[in-house]
Amino acid sequence: MNTTFRRKAAVGAGALAVGVLLGGGGYSAFVAAERAVAAPSPEHVAAFAINDPEGYAQGVSLATADLAERVTPAVVQISVQVAPQMASRSELPEEFRQFFGLPFGGRSAPEMEPQPRFGGGSGFLVSSDGYIVTNNHVAGDAQTITVRLQDNRTFDAELVGSDPTTDVAVIKIDADGLPFLPWGNSEAVRVGEWVMAVGNPGFGGSSLDYTVTTGIVSAKGRPLQLIGRGLEQDPRFGREMAGYAIENFIQTDAVINPGNSGGPMIDMSGRVVGVNSAIASTDGHFQGYGFAIPSNLVQKVAHDLMTEGRVLRPWLGVQVVGVSPEDAEAFDLPSVSGVLVQAVTEDSPAQEAGLEQGDVIVSVDGQTVTSGGDLQEKIAVLDQGDRIDVGYYRDGEARTARVRLGEAPMAERSARGAEPRRSGAPAEMERFGLSLQPLDRSAAEQLGYDSAEGVVVASVDPAGPAARKGIGVGMKVVEIDGTGIGSVADAAKALADVESGEVVTLVLDTPSSGTRLVNVRAR
């Protein structure tokens, strides 16, 4: 059976961002002063003896309903618009390929005119002054963000920051006195516990506002390789950045619904223990496998984004894999557990502490390490400069290394506006949020241009000036302020003296609509 992991993109015409976990019962109440979810009162759950099945069931039902009633005001609906991109018709789904007259496997026709892409998902308030946590794949690339609260008030939101290596983003609305959800301890969550998740997927005309489902924690520490694959395939990040992806998901059997990405997974005390992010499916529909990002990791990332504008990622400096039975036998280990160090980065904290290739790490500060993702999460929730005790085996002997965590070399590239969110273009073009490349024969044929001459837009910063003016990948740049452009060097020269705040006039060309003028202000 070919099972695929899906974190449905929150973009495309009518696309729905999916990837949620919804789980079960608990009870909580809002504190009037802050309107945060407080600890549950015991009357709904403690008064029902197990020898009274009907009363017990009614009590559980009331507790679940009470929890849903008190949590939903802090869950929000997020609608986004993403910068348009040029798209070859060969990239369309097969049913659309047939609609456009493209046979299966047939030669692709010229690209469609770029159109704004819309989508959205869910999020939840984490402060009374409007900070909202959601998924990076919901809001990280958004050009505009709109938030709707339960009382139907609508706000424009700004992206505070996002971290593609954990799929976490923080946005903010200008409001006060809002209900918000408190954080729980995902490390303490046990398999079999009831959880509830709430989503608000009613964007794009959907009527599924405030969907609540319940279930149990089915497993912990699931490494889906979903975030890493996405980073590796994204030209802004690549394989190096993919190595910093943290995937240690909580699995649940709670039903997943379209648009619930970014919604909270709630424990029975009304606290957030995860952020819904993905499903595993053979056909794109929920089949009993939902996944959430652990709250301990999300809380650390969100705190960094809210206070620093970027993720302060601590760094150990090892490459590891899970221990196999063969490893345990070869290294004379007492059990098949821990992670095997395959490589130690030069001049890293791990090397300075004496860790070596072939060591088997089994604990961090006394907490058992079960997988590579588990080790990454345990490190990621700490701070740079923290000193930790790493328990490991070498030559069958248990040892401990005292390690002072450093700063991850890629840490600054995690946040919106840092390196990966920019084009990597020369500074002249970076001020406009785009990069250019020569139009070679292959690209000209794919894009539908008659000749392989000039330059085309290679990438666009979704938050940059070019994106806001509708400039998309694949558009040919013909002129800049009246100067003909035949090469990337020509473009760089034409923009060399442009200062921040100045407006330049671009003449752009597409095969389907011809030339047009676009005025763009440098940032």
Which positions are annotated as active-site residues? 137, 167, 261
For 196-228, what is the HEC assignment?
EEEECCCCCCCCCCCEEEEEEEEEEEECCCHHH
Instruction: Give long-range contacts, CB 8 A cutoff, 24+ apart: 145-148.
Output: 145/78, 145/79, 145/80, 145/171, 146/78, 146/79, 146/80, 147/76, 147/77, 147/78, 147/79, 147/123, 147/171, 147/173, 148/76, 148/77, 148/79, 148/200, 148/202
The closest alpha carbon to 435, from 495, 379, 385, 394, belongs to 495
Strand pairing report for 339-344 and 131-134: unpaired
- DSSP code for 369: P
Q: What is the CA radius of gyration of the chain?
A: 25
- Which contiguous run of DSSP H or E holds residue 427? helix 427-430
CA dist., res. 481 & res. 432, Å (int) = 14
CA dist., res. 370 & res. 21, Å (int) = 23
For the chain, the residue count is 523
Dihedral over Cα of 212, 213, 219, 223: its sign = negative
Which pair of tokens denotes residue 219? 């497993």
Beta-strand ranges (E) seen in 126-223 are: 131-134, 142-148, 154-163, 168-172, 194-199, 211-222
Q: Which residue has the tokens 């090397």?
A: 351
